[in-house]
Amino acid sequence: MIVAEAWKANYLFWILPVVLILGLLALLALLGIFFALRLYAKLTCGRYQAKTRMDGKTVIVTGCTSGIGKETAKELAKRGARVIMACRSMEKAEKVQDEIVQSTKNANVVVKKLDLSSFESIRTFAEDINKNEKALDVLIHNAGYAETFKKNISEDGIELTMATNHYGPFLLTHLLINLLKKSSPSRIVVVASSLYRLASVNLDNPNPLNTMPGYLYYVSKEANILFTRELARRMEGTGVTVNCLHPGLIDTGIWRNVPAPLSWGLGLINTLYFKTPVQGCQTSVMLAVDENLSKVTGEYFSDCQISSLSSSASDMSRARKLWEISEKMVKLEENDPRI
């Protein structure tokens, strides 16, 4: 009896510290993993270092009320460009405009209303630009919309993710192409995503009203790439280049529609691993300003470097088919420029 009691006391005496030490080690290991991941994210992040100025150049950035677009607009304003913020919410955009003008001391930043899910809004915006801007040096298709499960439809009867992320930019490009050509050498930059690999455009169903929007986000990002490649081909010899990019995985508003509990896991990954919007704008800025890229066209960039594409995304016959389908979907009018 006495021996057993003593052993028990003894046991408690050493088990507690052991548990404590093991717990501490586990905590240290977790912290180690946390910092290793953050360090990895930082080290693998391309940074655009060149100080190339943009004085006298006019740039349109779509969807720059938050995230990558906001930082892209700010960085281009810092380099002296005239920045046209093309946004659907004037209220949000004007706040960001104030912030950019204050922090960059460049007063040449304007806001114009553009809702990419609406053909009417796109036409009104383009008319304004064509009438009032003497030149357009860079058009950055940055705006993006992502929904997880909630299906919705645009006022033109098109599935909302595809309307906003693909058909809207397709129409806008047509309506601004003459100004871009007149301003050449000029550039078009398309913000796609490496997540395009998770899906594939269904060319037999250009308006996928019954498909899950979460999946269609990936589809729309492949459409961005096919669009870029076919546009680059059609622009050969005009002095207008077009490239697309993956910005990295960035902690922005694009994830705002993910419902709980999915959002909790995402939130954790977000804080551990995702990059900041400032890191996220680097590749967009590089494609907009870098002198060495003046002749590069039809490429896909990731982290400030040319990257390879899946065979499906680099299939030019698919790119051409999607183009022809899109021409019909956006209802090009008689006097609209053809590309």
Ligand X SMILES: *[C@@H]1O[C@H](CO)[C@@H](O)[C@H](O)[C@H]1NC(C)=O
Ligand Y SMILES: NC(=O)c1ccc[n+]([C@@H]2O[C@H](COP(=O)([O-])OP(=O)(O)OC[C@H]3O[C@@H](n4cnc5c(N)ncnc54)[C@H](OP(=O)(O)O)[C@@H]3O)[C@@H](O)[C@H]2O)c1
Active site residues: 217
* Residue 127 touches which member of ligand X, ligand Y, none, C-beta under 5-8 Å by kind: none
The answer to the question of residue 145 lying near ligand Y (CB under 6 A) is yes
CA pair distance 74, 284, nearest whole angstrom = 12
List the alpha helices (DSSP H) in the chain: 2-43, 67-78, 90-104, 119-132, 160-162, 168-182, 213-234, 262-273, 277-280, 282-289, 316-329
Residue 114 is a binding residue for ligand Y (CB under 6 A): yes
Q: Which listed residue (66, 124, 152, 257) binds ligand Y by CB under 6 A?
A: 66
Q: What is the C-alpha end-to-end distance of the chain, expressed in Å? A: 94
* Position of minimal CB gap to ligand Y: 67
Instruction: State which of residues 65, 104, 183, 282 lies at the interface with ligand Y (CB under 6 A).
Output: 65
Pick what 236 binds: ligand X, ligand Y, none; C-beta below 5 to 8 Å, kind-dependent.
Answer: none
Q: How far apart are CA 339 and CA 188, in angstroms?
A: 14
Distance separating alpha carbons of residues 18 and 22, to the nearest angstrom: 6
Map residue 240 onto helix, strand or coil.
strand
Nearest to 206 by CA among 218, 219, 189, 225: 219
Residue 241: beta bridge partners?
187
Q: Kindly indicate which of the ranges 83-91, 175-183, 306-314, 323-331 contains the residues binding ligand Y, using the contact rule CB under 6 A.
A: 83-91
* Smallest gap from residue 328 Cβ to ligand X (A): 20
CB of 244 to ligand X, least distance (A): 20
Task: Count residues near ligand Y (CB under 6 A).
Answer: 30
Selected binder of ligand Y within 82, 84, 104, 115 (CB under 6 A): 115
User: Is residue 239 near ligand Y by the rule CB under 6 A?
Assistant: no
Which of ligand X, ligand Y, none does residue 82 bind (CB under 5 to 8 Å by kind)?
Answer: none
* Cβ at position 48, least distance to ligand X in Å: 9
Q: Which of 303, 282, 273 is nearest to 38 (CA)?
A: 273
Q: Which is nearer to ligand X, 97 or 208 (CB)?
A: 208
Check binding of 68 to ligand Y (CB under 6 A). yes
> Rounded CA gap, 292 and 53, in Å?
14
Which CB sits closer to ligand X, 149 or 264?
Answer: 149
The least distance separating ligand Y from the CB of residue 332, rounded to whole angstroms, comes to 20
Minimum Å distance from CB 117 to ligand X? Answer: 5
Instruction: Pull the structure tokens for residue 174.
Output: 């047509």
Structure tokens at 286: 């590089």
Nearest Cα to 196, choosing from 277, 330, 308, 337? 308
**Contact footprint for ligand X (CB under 6 A):** 50, 52, 117, 150, 152, 154-155, 160, 290-292
* Rama region for 48: left / alpha / beta (φ>0; ψ in -120 to 50; rest): beta
Residue 191 as a binder of ligand Y (CB under 6 A): the answer is: yes
- Which window, 16-24, 204-212, 245-253, 326-334, contacts ligand Y (CB under 6 A)? 245-253
Residue 300 in contact with residue 192, Cβ under 8 Å? Answer: yes
Closest by CA to 48, choosing from 307, 303, 295, 306, is 303
Smallest gap from Cβ 245 to ligand Y, in A, equals 8
Positions that interact with ligand Y (CB under 6 A): 62-69, 87-89, 92, 114-117, 142-145, 164, 191, 193, 246-247, 249-250, 252-254
